[in-house]
Structure 1
Amino acid sequence: MYSVIINNKEHHGEAGQTILNLLHRIGVDVPALCYDERLHPFSVCRSCLVKVKGQDQLQPACRTLVTDKMVVETHTSEIEDYRKGILQMLARDYPFSEVTRFPQKEFHQWLKHYGITEETKNTTTPVIDSSHPYMQVDMGRCINCSRCVKICDELQGQFVWHIINRGDKTKIISDSKSLFAESSCVSCGACADACPTGAIEDKQAIKLGTPDEITRSVCAYCGVGCEIEIGVKEQKIVGVHPAKNALVNKGHLCVKGRYAWEYMYAGDRITQPMIRYAGKWKKASWDEAIKYCAERLTSISKKHGADSISIIGSARATNEDNYCIQKFARAVIGTNNVDNCARVCHQPTAKAMSMVLGMGASTNSFDDIERAKTILVAGADTTESHPVVGARIKQAAIKGANLIVIDPRRTELAEYATFHLQLKPGTNIPLFHAMAHVIVSEKLHNEEFIINRTEGWDEFKKFIAEWTPERAAKICGVHPRLIRESARLFAQKSPSMCFHGLGLTEHTQGTENVMALITIALLTGNIGKEGAGINPLRGQNNVQGSAVMGCDPAVYTGMASVKTERKRFEELWKTYLPATRGLTLPEMLDAAVAGDLKAMWIIGYDVFFTMPNSKHTKEAFDMLDFIIVQDMFMNETAKKFADVFLPCASSFEKAGTFMNAERRIQKVRAAVSRPQEVKADWEVVCIMAAAMKKKELFNFSSAQDIWNEIRDTWSAAYGITYERLDNNGIQWPCPTTDHPGTTILHTETFPREGGRAKLSIIEFCPTTEQVTPAYPFILITGRTLYHFNAGNMTYRTANKDICPADLLHLNPKDANIIGLQDGDTARVVSKYGEASLTVCIDKSLNKGEAFSTFNDARVFINKITSPLRDKYVQTPEYKITAVRIEKCSA
């Protein structure tokens, strides 16, 4: 601790702390118009200058570090006169009507503080650019503080804003040099957040005004788990901003988290229960709807048995919701037929990590991105699908970290990569084996780690000796030199950190893809330490939580095995639990087609739209006797098949917790009241349990009550109380209330028998979905920045104006051969169906490959996707479908 005298009073500073940081902590305000806590100080505005004893000139508080016995003065008459002069200069020709209109702006507050008012009439006609759906640009209010430039460069890494000219002619423009909407902006809103004047401003703020209160919560979109601050005025949301001190997102958000919340107020939101009679929907009371559902479920169970019913949990619902859902399935219905959407995305990850490492969860934390020397990203377009983490990886690469990108497409991160391995879809295993071969044959492996912490080394060495880069190159299409150099880089420039996405998991060998990736980390000792590990990028906000809570036919809460821990849960819940094997979601559909499954309750998940080969899904739903859909909107499943619709609350309207991809449990808080006839998911489940004579098992009065029961069933989360979750959340395992949480797993041992990880011997088995003369292209599906999953949320926001529909991305040479141009309509035909899409010419793709997103119900890309599945967990092979592409006639 340093002793620092500020304005004749002693204060304590810390090494590395700036004077401005200390002033903020002790409550001394000085203007700092170019300063933002998320940026490196650059001191261009000079408004934060202070007097430091021993220095002849005034010093910028924003970048001057405190030292022991430093003496600082902040508000002498000299300094105050200087500051006022700076502000007067900045306010010259400023549109002062905006000061009155937006008094909360930082610059406007300082003008008022120093008594600076308009002295001359500003005759400049403002040129306002409203071309962007979410942001308005009025550079008549720009004071050239450069915050927008710096935050776009240093936080997002998009480099949209640029300073041109010098002196009085200095100005800031976007890279489009014209309309802002035509720039390379990705709509993260960081520039609007940083701007002290409103020269760049959120349209939502202009339209809806300043919030009266702020509620801290967690974003409702991807598994990054960004913390947000929800602005509310008169019980309506008026804006969402990043929580500046959030550990996960470091004061940053993407376009979805920041702007795409207006689905909350969509005109077609369902706010009352509905029952379909003779093909027509009729509104019903909750009593009527619950009674009807309970009677139907009871009748079906009596007639066909408990296993004729299945329940699907929600990756968009809280941990507490999902805990109740799986408990209801087992303790009320009496079946293990419970699943969630992790089945069709990262279930191969969970299985692979459980088999090899002993636990199916991310080993490290997002903060290890900045500690890694090498980062490997496999099968994940991270800046599109997990934008905040993608931005952090991009910034790490810009600052010197090595980056290896493994992807069939040249993604944005590939542009920053040391090596981009552009492999053929479905050939990850040969590529990983070849990298492992190089690591072993060139003696780049960590022998001490292997001997002490793994098993199967001798057998693995013999197996991997055959997988030369030359052999793999013939299969995966990556040059042997690139394979060798990438393997050397990963092994030698440690710590090395792995991220992967659905490009690895959504294959017939999805589980084994992940196992092969883990092997590379084990060989190099990149498990159990900072800046390393295996880190799956989870797709939906609580997909990790819904699975860990037990919405999985094979596990109870805390990933406890149904096979081995049934007695323990029977004692905890004080009821009989089923011993029969439960069905996965794909197996449920198969059972429905076979006539064995009769009813399904689907919560927060559009199964029909998102499952592959929709013809099969339709056949399954047509065979079911009874379907309940619980959601905010009439999704495609509900429209076509549901008998009952139950409206549920959004995450803005309820309390609970989410679990992000790095195992961090964070508190969700209600910011606004929900519509009168809308209930939280857990409340619906509890009411249904009471109607089915099991109220005593669901005697909860709040989400916190449920969480406390979760803690009693799951020892790894026992120490995570609601009170401890007020800021930044806690990563499990956290077994006691004084435990800080676990940032890195497997530091000393692995939770497998013997404590060792397994080096896996995996034979490569190519998918049977291959090109033929009739279907000469491989279609890859994936995510886009602007939409989310089934599009039920984002297509009800202005995101649809930025990205109006799913597109068919084609290599220019392929498009030319077919006779297609940008904007044409193409018909895509597979063995399973067809769909029509607008064409986008895209050089990022290899010839013979096509790409599409899957968010637009009008396109319905799952009419054509492959029904093939991973052999371990039945995850569909969304990433490879053989298709032909035809030009549609005008």
Structure 2
Amino acid sequence: MPAVIIDGQVHEFHPGQTILEALHDLNIDLPSACYDPRLEPYGACRLCLVEVEGQPHPVASCNMPLQEGMVIRTHTPELEEGRKQGFRFLIGRYPKEAVERQPSKPFHERLRDYGLAEGLKAEPDPRLQDFTHPYIRVDLSQCILCYRCVRICEEVQGQFVWQVFGRGHQTHLEPSGPSLLQSACVSCGACADTCPTGAIDDWSVLELGTPTAWTRSTCPYCGVGCEFLVGTRDGKITQVKPALDAPVNKGHLCVKGRYAFAYNDAPDRVTRPMIRRDGEWQAVSWDEAIAFVAAELKRIRETHGPDSIGILGSARATNEENYLAQKFARVVIGSNNVDCCARVCHAPSAVALAQVFGTGAATSAFDDIELAQTFLLAGTNTTENHPVVGARIKQARRRGARLIVVDPRKTELAGWADIHLALRPGTDIPLFHAMARVILEENLTDPAFLAERVEGLGAFREAIAEWTPERAAEVCGVSAEAIRQAARLYATHKPSICFHGLGLTEHHQGSETVMALANLALLTGNVGQPGTGVNPLRGQNNVQGSAHMGCEPNTLTGSQPLAKARAHFEQLWGCPLPTTKGLNLMQMLDAARKGHLKALWLFGYDVLLSNPDAAHTAQAFERLELVVVQDLFMNESARAYGHVFLPAASNFEKDGTFMNSERRIQRVRQALPPAGDSRPDWQILCDVARAMGQGERFAFEGPEAIWEEVRAVWPGGAGISYARLEQGGLQWPCPSLDHPGTPRLHAQSFPAGPRATLAAVPYVPSPEQPSPEYPFVLITGRTLYAFNAGTMTARTPNTRLYPTDRLEVSPSDAECLGLREGERVRVVSPYGEARLPVHITQRVKPGELFSTFHDPDVFINRLTNPHRDRYTLTPQYKRTAVRLEKLPNASRE
């Protein structure tokens, strides 16, 4: 390694390092105001100046690359006096009150170091204060014009909220609206995180105090898996900050991960076990609750057989807890009736990718985003539903990458796209087949990859022959030329990478749609290489892990087929596994309606509110003899049909691991003790197992002991120990302790061999079609500020940013119906109705509507239909025929 001399000492450095980066590595303290490792070097504040032998003047260390043989001096009297003068220039109008109120701010600490804090005399200027935002406090009296907020909003988030106005002494910052709350801000908090002075700051710290302890953990919201630092004080969370060295989020977070943690201390959190007797919930001891659950499960098993009981794992619980849930079902109950919420979201992705590639998971790492030249985003509103990945894609687009968006709505990234294919909901298969036909007809394939790695080309070519771009255009509602352009761009501007979401999977042909997307990657060689791949963006923090741990009726831990892995598990568990075919979630509800399923234990999953066609779900719950709900709050399932409520510890109150969308396993660490009498899910499962006579097989001292058993039964995860996870996450397969993990699948071959087979899938139009009685097509989905059933986000100030679900209607449809912005309407489908306010927007096309599903008062799933994916039974949330009815004397909201 090359070497330099710093303050008389010889030091080696890494090529490409700046002087300041090397000084930080050496723990040589140097002030800087405009520097942030997440940003491009700026060199404006001049506080980090150093002397370099041979240079006529001091240089800014933050943007000066190190060179072999440099001789550097960092703290000469001249440099220190220059820094002091630099600070004096920055604090000409700085308020003394700010330093006294927040002494731990980095800038304030420096002022004390240089003896300048006591000389401040200015007062805060109310004209420069903006206290409208629920999370972010703005007082630009404290602004020193380091421009870190401007740059991080542009370079990391890509939102361009903070803008510079004026020149010279008149230079100042303003948000892109009348206030920060009314601007383009998406509340990611990056500006508050980087601000060295507190000019932009977190309300939570100002109100609850500076954290006295920090715990590194993983976000409990979407499947991106951002790592963060949880700051606590006096038994409460007061701040969350991004981990700067996290490989997934690289020092960034979204509004939910950074700010939406107040649910942990929500006043309606349930922290004592309860049993419902004579229609009333009664608090009981844990001993009584455990004994009641165990006795009821035994009774039902003995009376109706083990297959009369179902267990639902949780995408919000850890890998260890989901592993125990499926083990409990199979060992304690004796049934394969175990599933999780992956059934209603990305089960089609797992089945499709397993069928085409051999592994039912993302083929790439998020770091392939920075290597890709073209993005194909299909059915994913990425910047809202997976915001940090969306921001990384947005930055890649700004650097010149090309972008194709396939989505009925004009999402934010659709506005950035080279090509936006705004197809009709559920017509993706004709679109992808037409793109494939163009690629074949115009010889845009990767011939070498096809010859070596792909088979079934002849049958595939014949199957898609009818799908000319013109025919697909008629079905999809997009132009034939746009289809051709998208095919050419994806095939030729390589490497190309695909990300897809629930807009592909939640249809009656969800699995086949993902297969059709995977065909494009095989035809063009866009799989297994840097910057390529086909990647489902998983919705919840551990939905990938819950299914992968075995919370599925036909697979065991590691997604190992039950029939193939049975002997291995029986040997390790020391007991036989059930032989009857298990039921998935949708089949369990069907069986309950018929009176065959008698008991359901669900945790971290509000089935009644989340599942489609709520009337049918309610009918299933009504016939159950035992409903055990394990959660943080009295959710809709518990409120209406629960018999027992078991209070669970939150993600901040327990240890374990999560698995994100890119197959990365990361640590979850306890930052707080469990609230009240709540317990971690793993402990509750072990307690019930013990009460049912299976204590020896559930005698775990903690999550790490559970994980050691996971490693023993899952060869692909054998090399992922807690000790290794202390240094960061690992992507499976990782079969041994000396294996580095596998960021990218299928580099040389596929699990079944050297070749993958193209999927010649047919197109079958959805049975859910608009009609004169129901002329609109309703699409449901998520928003940035709310999450799933709202269990967590609805108990945070996020409700000020997004108060309730609303119905997006095109301007032309609104005009025809005489609707005004904010007016409440009745939405009616063949399955139910809901009432909610209207939002008139160009984001949806005429004849199509969009709504989120987060508010239980709206309960949008009263509307959604019973149709299911033909392979996995995943519900068709994304296409329901409805009509709108204007309410008499409707109020605006």
| The two structures share one fold, judged by TM-score above 0.5 | yes
Name 2:807's counterpart in structure 1: 808
The 5 Å alignment of 1:844-859 reads 844-859=843-858
- Deviations 1:779-807 (Å, cap 9, x if unpaired)? 00011000111001000000001100000
| Alpha-carbon displacement from aligned partner over 1:526-550 (angstroms, at most 9, x marks no partner) | 1111100011100000000000000
2-side partners of 1:14 and 1:590: how far apart? 61
Superposed CA offset, 1:434-465 (max 9, x none): 00001000000012211211221111122223
Deviation sequence 1:342-389 (CA, Å, 0-9, x none): 000000000001111111011100000000000110000000000000
How many angstroms does 1:676 deviate by? 4.0
Distance 2:214 2:98 in 1: 23
- 2:20 is matched with 20
Task: Report the equivalent of 2:144.
Answer: 143
Match of residue 886 from structure 1: 885
Question: In the alignment, residue 93 of structure 2 is paired with which amino acid?
Answer: D
State how far apart, in whole Å, the 1-side matches of 2:494 and 2:123 are.
60
| CA-based RMSD | 0.9
| Secondary structure of 1:564's aligned partner | helix
Q: Does 1:587 align with 2:587?
A: yes
Partner of 1:771: 770
Residues 314-354 of structure 1: CA distance to partner in whole angstroms, max 9, x if unpaired? 00000000000000000010000000000000000000011
Deviation sequence 1:197-221 (CA, Å, 0-9, x none)? 0000100010111111110000010
Residue 297 (structure 2) aligns with? 297
Which whole-Å deviations, capped at 9, do the CAs of 1:91-130 have from their partners, x for residues lacking one?
A: 1121112112211111111111111135463256333211
Q: Report the counterpart of residue 859 of structure 2 in structure 1.
A: 860
Shift of 1:282: 0.3
Match of 1:375 in 2: 375
Write the letter of the residue equivalent to 1:32.
S
How far is 1:28 from its partner?
1.0
Question: Are the counterparts in 1 of residues 364 and 743 from structure 2 also a CA contact under 8 Å?
Answer: yes
Range with greater deviation from structure 2 (556-565 or 380-389): 556-565
- 1:598 to 2:598 alignment: yes
SS at match of 1:563: helix
User: What does 1:92-103 correspond to in 2, within 5 Å?
Assistant: 92-103=92-103
Q: State how far apart, in whole Å, the 2-side matches of 1:33 and 1:68 are.
A: 27
Structure 2 CA distance for aligned equivalents of residues 881 and 597 of structure 1: 28
What pairs up with 1:269-348 in 2 under 5 angstroms? 269-348=269-348
How many residue pairs align between the two structures? 888
Aligned residue number for residue 78 of structure 1: 78
1:110-159 deviations in Å (ceiling 9; x for gaps) = 11111113546325633321100001100000000000000000000000
Q: Which amino acid aligns with 1:586?
A: M
What is the alpha-carbon distance in structure 2 between the residues aligned to residue 34 and residue 727 of structure 1?
A: 29
Q: CA deviation at 1:289?
A: 0.6
Residues 1-10 or 626-635, more deviating: 1-10
Contact 2:444/2:491, CA 8 A, preserved across alignment? yes
2:215 matched residue in structure 1:
215
Aligned partner of 2:653: which letter? E
Q: 1:627–1:111: structure 2 CA closer, same or farther, 3 Å change rule?
A: same
- Checking the alignment, whether the CA contact within 8 Å between 1:398 and 1:416 is kept in structure 2 is no
Q: For each residue in 1:743-780, what CA deviation from the matched residue of structure 2 results, as whole angstroms up to 9, or x when unmatched?
A: 1001111112x442110111110001001000000000
User: What is the CA–CA distance in structure 1 between the aligned matches of 2:358 and 2:848, rounded to whole Å?
Assistant: 36
Secondary structure in structure 1 of the residue aligned to 2:499: strand
CA distance in structure 1 between the partners assigned to 2:405 and 2:257 by the alignment: 26
Query: C-alpha separation between the residues in 1 aligned to 2:338 and 2:773?
Result: 39
Asked whether the 8 Å contact 2:94–2:120 carries over to 1, the reply is no
CA contact 1:441–1:465 (8 Å) conserved in 2:
no
For residue 809 of structure 1, what is the amino acid of its counterpart? E
1:610 positional shift: 0.5
Distance 1:2 1:841 in 2: 61
Tell whether the 8 Å contact from 2:94 to 2:123 is kept in structure 1 after alignment: no
Instruction: State the identity as a percent.
Output: 55
Which residue number corresponds to residue 732 of structure 1? 732
CA distance in 2, matches of 1:658, 1:120: 48
SS of the residue aligned with 2:163?
strand
Contact 2:97 2:124 in 1 (8 A): no
Q: Match for residue 789 of structure 2?
A: 790
Query: Which residues in structure 2 correspond to 1:55-454 (within 5 Å)?
Result: 55-119=55-119, 121-122=121-122, 125-127=125-127, 128-176=129-177, 178-454=178-454
* Distance of 2:777 and 2:589 partners within structure 1: 26
Distance in 2, Cα, partners of 1:47 & 1:173: 25
The equivalent of 2:825 in structure 1 is 826
The aligned residue for residue 711 of structure 1 is 711
How far apart in 1 are the matches of 2:50 and 2:758?
A: 60
Deviations 1:664-710 (A, max 9, x none): 00010000111241111010010100110011111101100000000
How many angstroms apart in 2 are the aligned matches of 1:64 and 1:245? Answer: 22
Structure 2 unaligned spans of 5+: none
Distance across 1 between alignment mates of 2:815 and 2:351: 43
The Cα shift of 1:79 comes to 1.1
Alignment partners' CA distance in 1, 2:879 and 2:731: 35
Match for residue 622 of structure 1? 622
* Structure 1 letter corresponding to 2:80: E
Q: Counterpart of 1:265 in structure 2: which amino acid?
A: D
| Secondary structure class of the residue paired with 1:182 | coil
How many angstroms apart in 2 are the aligned matches of 1:235 and 1:283? Answer: 24
Query: Is structure 2 residue 527 aligned with structure 1 residue 500?
Result: no
Distance in 1, matches of 2:332 and 2:805, equals: 41
Question: How far, CA to CA, are the matches of 2:536 and 2:877 in structure 1?
Answer: 18
Alignment of 1:452-531 (within 5 A): 452-531=452-531
Q: 1:874, 1:654 → 2: CA distance? A: 33
Alpha carbons 1:223, 1:660 under 8 Å: kept: yes
Amino acid at match of 1:771: P
Whole-angstrom distance in 1 between the partners of 2:123 and 2:713: 69
* TM-superposition CA deviations, 1:200-256 (whole Å, max 9, x none): 010001011111111000001000000010001122211111001100000000000
Distance 2:533 2:888 in 1: 51
Secondary structure of the 2:842 match is: coil
- Spell out, residue by residue over 1:1-23, the C-alpha distance to the aligned partner (whole angstroms, 9 max, x if none): 22111111111112110000001
- The letter for the 1-side match of 2:857 is R
Distance in 1 (CA, whole Å) between partners of 2:43 and 2:836 is: 50
Matches of 2:138 and 2:675 in 1, distance apart?
Answer: 35
**CA-to-partner distance for each residue in 1:799-854, whole Å, 9 max, x for gaps?**
00110000000000001111111110011000000000100011011110000001
